[in-house]
Amino acid sequence: MEVPEVAGVHGGIQAENATLDPEQRDHQAGWVSVKVEGSRFAVERSLLARCSSYFCALFRSGMIENHQDEVHLRGGVSARGFLITLAVCRGEVPTLSEPDELVEAVECAAFLQVACLVQHLCDIIDTENCLLLYDAASVFGLHTLYRNAALFLQDSFDDLKEAAEGSLPPALIEYSQSLSPASYIAIGTHSPSVEQLHDSFRVVCYLDEEEGEWKHLTDLPRLCSTSLAGVAVLDNCLYVVGGVYGYGKDAVDGGFCYNPDSGVWTTFPGPQQPRYNFTLLGHSGRLYAIGGEFQKQIISSAENYDVETGEWAFIRHAPRPVASTACAVARRRIFVCFWKPPDTTDIYEYIPVKNEWRLETTMIKPQSYGHCMVAHRDNLYVMRNGPSDDFLRCLMDRYNITSGQWTALPGHYINSKGALFTAMIRGDSVFTVKHMLTLEYTITEGAWKPRRQMKGFPKSGSLWTCLLRLPKMGPVSPQLGADGKNGGTEGLGGATSPQL
C-alpha cells in the first residue's frame, strides 16, 4: 500500500523518511499509523511523544487510543501540515514559502503542540512571510511565534507599514508598535588603569534613528574593559567578558552584564581559562568564548557560560588556535571563521548538542580572509580584503547554508577605517558605523545597497556594536558604581498583548 503524495511541500523534506509504508510498519513495536485526511503515516511513537505535547499526553493518558495501532486526527491538522511537522521533528529544514504551507504548519504546530516546529517558524520569519505568520499565530494562539513576528514587524515597520495596514487587524499593528524596536548600540574602547586614562571612552551609546545621531545610553563600569574583550548580546542583555588592562595587558578576570530594562550593571565570573582577544557569542541561554590569547599565545580552548546556573564549562577545543575570529548565528546554528594563511578561510559549525566542530565550507581567495561575518536569513555574508590586500575596499561573498553554494557579490564596499566590520543586521537592514559616518544598507538579492546616512559615533578608535531593545520611554539611569556594586531599580513592565 503506497502512502498518498502530499502536494506543495518542497525544499528538502525527505518524504521517504517522513512517511513510511503503513503495511510494513503498522504492526511493528513502537510504531503507530496516523491517519490525516486521506493519507496515512507510519511514525515512531517515541518521535511523536518527544516532539509533540499532544501525542505525549495521548500516549500516557491510558485512553483507548494509546493501545490502538492507528490514530485518526480530525480537524486542525492537514496532511501537508503533518508532513511538514514530521520533517522538522526528524531534524530536516524544510523550505516553506507558499502561504497555504505556512498556515497549515502554524495550524499543526498549535494543534499538536510541537515546540520544534514553532521554533522553525520563528527562525524563518522574514519580510515576505511576517504578516502572514503574525496573523496566523494570533488566530491559532501560538504565543511564541506571535511575539517573534510582532517584534520583526516592529523592526521592519518602515518597509511593511503599507502592507500591514492593508492586511492586519488594527489590534495586531497596535501591539507590534507597543514593543521596543532593536536599537543599534556602539561601545567605545576602554581599558582600566590606575591613572584612569581614557575615561571619556567609557561610553555606551544608542542610535536615535529619528534624529540620526548617537545618544548616551550608559557608562561602562570603571573596572570593565572593552580592550580585546568579548562582547555579545544574549536574551536582550549586553555581556562584556575579559579584556585587558594596564600597560602590561593583563587579562581581566570577570565579566559584566547590562540589563537595558533596569539600567543595572551586574558582575559574573570570567572563563576558567583566562583569555583576551577572543570570540564571544550568545546563543540559547549560553555564552560561548572561543579561542583568544593568553600570555601572548593564541589558544584553541573554548568554554560556554550557562546564564541560569552561573557556571563556565569547557567544550571541545576549536579546530585550531584562533584569535578575534568572525562568527555568526544563522537559523540557530553557530558558524565561526578560521583563517589558514594566506588564502583559505574555513567556516566551521559548532554543534552544541553533540559538542563537536564540523567543517561547513571553505572559501579560497588570494591574500584574503574573512574579517567579518554576519547572517541574514539562511545566508552568511563574509567581508574580506579587496584588491591588493586592501581591507578599506572590501569584497563580499555570500554562502547559503541551505544550498551549500557560494556567491560573490559584485563591486567593492567602502570600508572607511573598518566601519564595515561593525555590521549588524536588523530585518533587511545592515547598520555600520565609524566616527565619521553611520551608514544603513538594504540587503537585496544581489548586493547591499546604501539606504541612508547618519552621524558617526562621537569617539574615534575601535568600536563594538550590537543590537538591544531599549525601554520605549528611553534609557533607564541606574548604573553599576565604580565599586562594582549594583545600583538598581526594578525591571520595567512590557506592553500588554491583545487577547489571542
CATH code of residue 213: 2.120.10.80
Looking at the structure, do residues 430 and 459 belong to the same domain, yes or no?
yes
Range of the domain at 142: 29-178
- Judgement on whether residues 260 and 394 belong to the same structural domain of the protein: yes
Please report, for the domain that includes residue 48, its CATH number.
3.30.710.10
Bigger pLDDT: 394 vs 16? 394
Q: Are residues 297 and 386 in the same domain?
A: yes
pLDDT tops 50 at residue 173:
yes
Residue 13 domain flag: no
Q: How many C-beta atoms surround the C-beta of residue 316 within 10 A?
A: 14
132 and 251 together in one domain: no
Q: Please state the rounded mean pLDDT for residues 317-345.
A: 95
The sign of the torsion formed by the CA atoms of 300, 353, 356, 283 equals: negative
pLDDT tens-digit readout, 52-91? 999 998 888 766 666 678 898 987 799 999 999 999 999 9
The reported pTM is: 0.88
Are 246 and 122 in a shared domain?
Answer: no
Predicted local distance difference test score (pLDDT) of residue 174:
97
**Residue 35 cell numbers, joined:** 491517519
The predicted structure's pLDDT at residue 19: 44
Average pLDDT over residues 34-59: 92
pLDDT of the residue at 13: 41
pLDDT at 385: 85
More confident residue, 496 or 32: 32
Average pLDDT for residues 105-112, to the nearest whole number? 96
Q: Domain boundary residue among 124, 145, 178?
A: 178
Per-residue pLDDT for 465 more than 90? yes
Same domain, 166 and 199: no
- How high is the pLDDT of residue 478? 62
Q: How many CB atoms lie within 10 A of CB 204?
A: 24
Tens digits of per-residue pLDDT, 254-311? 999 999 999 999 999 999 999 999 999 999 999 999 999 998 899 999 999 999 999 9
379 SS3 class: strand
CB 371 within 8 A of CB 393: no
Q: How many domains does the chain have?
A: 2
Q: Who contacts 324 (Cβ-Cβ below 8 Å, separation ≥6)?
A: 228, 277, 278, 279, 292
In a domain, 499, yes or no: no
Are 324 and 389 found together in one domain?
Answer: yes
Look at residue 141 and tell me if it is in a domain: yes
The pLDDT score that the predictor gives to residue 248 is 74
Taking the C-alpha atoms of residue 356 and residue 343, their distance in angstroms, rounded to an integer, is 25
Both 160 and 305 in one domain: the answer is no
Give the whole-angstrom CA distance, residue 400 versus residue 380.
Answer: 6
Q: Are residues 143 and 225 in the same domain?
A: no
Q: Look at residues 123, 144, 178 and tell me which one is the last residue of a structural domain.
A: 178
- Residues of the chain above pLDDT 90, percent: 69
How far apart CA 19 and CA 448 sit, in angstroms, is: 41
In a domain? residue 115: yes
Does residue 6 lie within any of the structural domains?
no
Predicted pLDDT of residue 79? 94
Instruction: Decide if 157 is inside a domain.
Output: yes
Q: Is residue 123 part of a domain?
A: yes
Average pLDDT over the chain reads 87
Residue located via cell numbers 498518498: 4
The kind and range of the H/E element at 22 are helix 22-25
Predicted confidence band of residue 38 (pLDDT cuts 50, 70, 90): confident
CB neighbour list of residue 290: distance below 8 Å, 6 or more residues apart: 278, 279, 280, 281, 302, 318, 322, 325, 327, 336, 350
On whether residue 164 sits in a domain, the answer given is yes
Concatenating the DSSP letter of every residue in 227-285 gives: TTEEEEEETTEEEEEE-EETTTTEEP--EEEEETTTTEEEEEPPPSS--BS-EEEEETT
Q: State residue 469's pLDDT score.
A: 97
Is there a single domain that holds both residue 158 and residue 213? no
Q: Are residues 123 and 262 in the same domain?
A: no
Peptide bond into 342 cis (omega under 30): yes
